A = this chain, B = another copy of it.
Amino acid sequence: MRFTSEQRLDDGVRERAFTLGEIPGILWTPASASPPAPAPLILLGHPPLGLDRMYPRLAARARHAAADGFASATIELPGSGDRPRLPGVEQARAELGRAVRAGERVGDEIVDALVLPLVERAVPEWRAALDALLALPEIGGPVGYSGGVISLGVRLAVVEPRISAAVLFAGSFVPRVILEEARRVTVPLHVLLQWDDEGNDRQAALDLFDAFGSREKTLHANMGGHTGVPEFAAEAAGRFLARHLG
């Protein structure tokens, strides 16, 4: 992990860009007394639209997390931003778009082709990022995962024992293999569902919530479309993480 730039945001939050091999990422740490106490870490998931495009929303979430005393970090997803495109994903995305526009049920093989290559490459990258981040003196633990591609969140929650709570956003298509893995998730979960999400199958989201093996799991469903998560719902997700990581 190599830091490539650093700035202080208005509220004193320290923002550092880094690269982890070829993968760009960003780390935000709270303004605090020196020497700072090691902060718990939130891994900020995001949709595969590229870090540059997602930056304003990520930075806003990081500042909220910093106000609760948490560091947060994210890395570019495979196939996004300046990273090489993933084989087959563009075609799967086109087929998905065509099926959705035609009002057809999206086939399992399209969902698999769209999501699984991303998850399979991203999981070891996020784990490597976690290794590097937890080696920094300013980062302690525990670690939470929040948002982004829900299948990545599910897989990470299953395979990565250092993640102790997760906020998941029921906003993307979920392969069958991930639905099966959901039964093996045991960490506390806070699942956000936009009730009228135009790009999401509500029943599939409810089935996924039902499948999670966690003893503590909460579903917060709110009105509005995919990007319309109300401010109070974002705050509730923040309180969930504060309760489990604080």
Binding site for B on A (CB under 8 A): 195, 206, 209-210, 214-223, 230, 232-233, 236, 239-240, 243
Contact = CB atoms under 8 A, between A and B. Distances in A.
27 contacts: A195-B209, A195-B210, A195-B219, A206-B206, A209-B221, A214-B223, A215-B223, A216-B223, A216-B230, A217-B222, A217-B223, A218-B220, A218-B221, A218-B222, A218-B223, A218-B232, A218-B233, A219-B219, A219-B220, A219-B221, A219-B222, A220-B220, A221-B221, A232-B240, A232-B243, A236-B236, A236-B239
A86 to B, nearest CB: 34
A241 to B, nearest CB: 12
Contacts of A221: 209, 218-219, 221
A219 B193 CA distance: 9
Contacts of A243: 232
Nearest to A222: B218
Contacts of A215: 223
Nearest to A221: B219
